[in-house]
Structure 1
C-alpha cells in the first residue's frame, strides 16, 4: 500500500512538471489571438511569456526557503491553488497590463510548485535507498521534455478547435489529479528543517529583486516611462550592497549556507548553467536564426525545433540510453558536436540543408535527454535529503540563469544593430558555445570520483 501511495506522489510530481513546462511554451502560439482580443501588438504580447519566466526565476530561492520551513505538502498545495486560480483569472483579463501581472503571479506560484515538487521527488528517491533514483530522474526529464515538445503543438490544436482560454483552463483537471494522493495523507512531510529552513527569508529578497528587475526592466520602461534608467541602476546597486551586508553581518544569510563551503557542490553549480546556455536557450533564439538563414515557414521551423525537443521524451520511453549504453560523456559530446555542426550549416551552403539541420538538432536533443536528469541530480546529490528545498531552488535558479545568459549571448552578440563592439556571426556564436559542454565534461570527470556520473549509463 505504501509503495502504491508513493507511486501516486511520483505521478503528481510528473504532472506538476508538465504543467509548469506547458504553461511556459503553450501560450506562445495563442499570443496573436490574445493580441487581437485585447487590442495590443504581437511584439508586446511576448511579455505574457517573459513575465511568467521572470516570476519563476526570481522567486525560486524564496520558494526553496519556504518549502523547507513549511514542508512540501503545504507549499505544493497552496502554490497549486494560486497557480490554478491565476490560470482561470487570466481568461478574464481585459488589458495587457492586467494579463502580464497575472502571468507574473502565475510564474511566482510555479516557482513554489517546482521547488516543492522537486524536493518531494528527492525524498521519494533518496541518494541512498532501495528505489531507482536515476530512473526517477529520467522520467522527470521525459515529462519536462514532453511539456516543451507538446506545448506549441497542443497549444495550436487548442487554439484551432477550441479557444486560447483552454490552454489555461486545462490546469483545472490536471490539478485534480495532482491533489488526489495528498487527500488525507501527510506521509511525505519533512521530519526536520533543511538548510534553507534555517536561513533568513529576508536575505534572498535582494537577489529576487535583482533578477526580477533585470528581466522585467524593458517592460517597466515601456509601461512606466517616468521611472527612467537611473532608478533601475539605483535599485540594482542598492540590492547588491544589501546582499554584501547580509553576508558579512548576518549568520542566517543564504550566502553563508554550509553547502556553499563544499567544493564539489560549488563546482557542480556550473553544470546547470553551461547546460542551459548550450541547449535550453536555443529554444528561444534558434527559430529566428533558422527563419532568417533558411527562409523557412513557421510550420517547418516548428518541425525542426521538435527534432531538438522530442528526444527528451523518446530516449526515456524506449530506454535507449541503457540499451545503447550512453552515459554523460556521450551527452556532452553530442551537444558539442551538434553546436559545431550548426556552425558549419550556418556558414556554408550545402545540399539537403533542411535534412542535415533536423539530424543535427535531433543529435543535440539526444545529448540533452541523457544529460537533463543528471543535471538535476548532480547538485541534489551533494546535499542532505533534508536540504532538498535548497538543491531544488539552486538547481532551478541556475538553470534559469543559464537560460537567460544564453538568450542574451545568442541575441545580443549576433545583433548588428546593437553597438556592443562584440558582434559576431551566428556560426561563431555556435563555435564559442560548443566549448561549454567540453568544460562541463571536464567538471563531471572530476566529480565522478564522488558521484560516479560517468562510470555507468544513467
Structure 2
C-alpha cells in the first residue's frame, strides 16, 4: 500500500499543480494549492517507510536517509532559486507547470523500481485527522493575529482557547483510539522524542531564516527574485555537505554528539547574522552564515530521522514516517506563524512612532512590502529616503531579535541530547548509536 499511496500522491500533486498553473483567480489558486498539499500528504509519509523496508542493513539505511535529508535540503534551496529564475524570465504559471514532467518521471520510476509493502492492521484515524486540523488552524490563526493585534485581543484569545480545547480533545482521543494516527506511547522513548524535537528545531530555524531573509533581500535590499534565490543557495549547499558527512559522524562520535553538535553549529550561523544584521548586510556574512547554518542542519537531520525510524517497529514504519513529516510541516508552519508574529510585533512598535498622516501610517503598518509601495507613491520625493530608512530599520530590528532568540533556543536544544539521550542504544534495525 505504501507504493500505491506514493503513486496516488504523485498523481494528485501533479494534477493540482496543473490546475494551479491554469488558475485565473486567487480563489482557484488557493484551492489547487490545497489539493497539492493533499497530494503531498499521500507522498511524504510513504518515502521514509519505503526506505526503511528497502534498506535493511543499518549502515546502508543511514546512508539512504542521509541522501533523503540531502535532497530535502536541496529542494528547500533550489525552490526559491528555480522559482526566481522562472518569475524573472517567464511567467509565474511555470512555477507549477514544472512539476508535471517531474511527476511523470517520479511515477514511472516508482512503478518500475519500488517494491510494495504494507501494514495489514493499519486503519485511518479520521476523527484524529479532523481534530488535528482544527486545533492547528485555530492555534496558527491566533498566533499570527497576535502579531498584528495583540495577545490581549478577544479574537486572538478565543482562537487560542479553541485551539487548546480541541488539542486536549485530540490528545484524549488519540490515547483511547486503538488505531491512533499518533501513538503517544512513542514519546516515552527518548530515542524518538529527542530526535523529533531536534528535527522540529532544524526546520523551525531553516524556514524562518528563508522566510525573513527573502523579504530582506527583495524588499529592503532591492534584489530581484533570482538574486534572492542565489543568496539563499549557501544554506542548501551546507545541508548537502552536512548530510554527506553525517553517516561517518554518527559512526565516529555517536548520535547525541552528531544531533546536538549539528544544532549548535547551526546556531553559529545565526550568530553571524546577529553581529552583522543591517539594512545592507555584508555579502560574506550572508554566504558564510547560511553555509554554516545549513551545514549544522545537514549533520543533525539524518541521525535524528534514523533514530525516529529505528525507534518504531518495522511494521509501523508508516506511522514513524508520517510523524516525522508531520513534525516537519508543523514546524514550518509554526516558524512562520510564531517568528512572523514576533518580527511583526517589533516592527509595529517602531512604525507606530513614525509621524505621518493616518492613511500613510496605516499602509506602513500593514507590512514591509506595503510600506515600500506606499512610500514609493508619495508625491514628495524628498521624504522617500527618510521614511524608507525608518521602516527598514524597524524590520531589521525585528529580524535581529528573532535571530538572537533562534541562537539561544538552538544552543539550549543542542545541549539537550548529551544529558538525556541514552548512552548506548541499538535501533530496531541494528545500528549502534553510542
Gaps of 5+ in 2: 146-154, 351-394
Q: Distance in 2 between matches of 1:291 and 1:171?
A: 25
Question: Structure 1 pair 272/314, CA: closer, same or farther in 2 (3 Å)?
Answer: closer
2:363 aligned with 1:435: no
Partner of 1:402 in structure 2?
A: 331
Task: Indicate if the aligned counterparts of 1:281 and 1:404 stay in contact, CA closer than 8 A.
Answer: no
* Bigger mean CA deviation after superposition, 234-243 or 83-92: 234-243
Task: Indicate if the aligned counterparts of 1:381 and 1:451 stay in contact, CA closer than 8 A.
Answer: no
Give the aligned length.
368
Larger radius of gyration: 2
2:44 aligned with 1:114: yes
Question: Structure 1 pair 149/101, CA: closer, same or farther in 2 (3 Å)?
Answer: same
Q: Distance in 2 between matches of 1:339 and 1:234?
A: 33
Question: Structure 1 pair 418/214, CA: closer, same or farther in 2 (3 Å)?
Answer: farther
Deviation at 1:102, TM superposition (A): 0.8
2:291 aligned with 1:365: no
Q: Distance in 1 between matches of 2:290 and 2:184?
A: 39
Q: Distance in 2 between matches of 1:456 and 1:360?
A: 33
* Bigger mean CA deviation after superposition, 439-448 or 83-92: 439-448
Question: Structure 1 pair 433/238, CA: closer, same or farther in 2 (3 Å)?
Answer: closer
Partner of 1:449 in structure 2?
A: 423
Q: Distance in 1 between matches of 2:163 and 2:339?
A: 24
Partner of 2:366 in structure 1?
A: none
Question: Structure 1 pair 419/330, CA: closer, same or farther in 2 (3 Å)?
Answer: same
2:284 aligned with 1:332: no
Question: Structure 1 pair 103/134, CA: closer, same or farther in 2 (3 Å)?
Answer: same
Gaps of 5+ in 1: 1-70, 220-227
Q: Distance in 2 between matches of 1:394 and 1:179?
A: 24
Q: Distance in 1 between matches of 2:18 and 2:167?
A: 37
TM-score (norm 1): 0.68
Partner of 1:426 in structure 2?
A: 399
2:113 aligned with 1:190: no
Deviations 1:336-376 (A, max 9, x none): 21222211112799xx8221332122111211221222232
What secondary structure, in the 3-state scheme, does the structure 1 residue paired with 2:289 have? Answer: helix
Alignment of 1:27-66 (within 5 A): none
Task: Indicate if the aligned counterparts of 1:338 and 1:363 stay in contact, CA closer than 8 A.
Answer: yes
Q: Distance in 2 between matches of 1:378 and 1:131?
A: 13
The equivalent position to 1:313 in structure 2, one of 217, 240, 245, is: 240
Deviations 1:60-114 (A, max 9, x none): xxxxxxxxxxx20221122221111111122222211111011011111111110
Question: Structure 1 pair 97/110, CA: closer, same or farther in 2 (3 Å)?
Answer: same
2:105 aligned with 1:180: no
Q: Distance in 1 between matches of 2:161 and 2:243?
A: 47
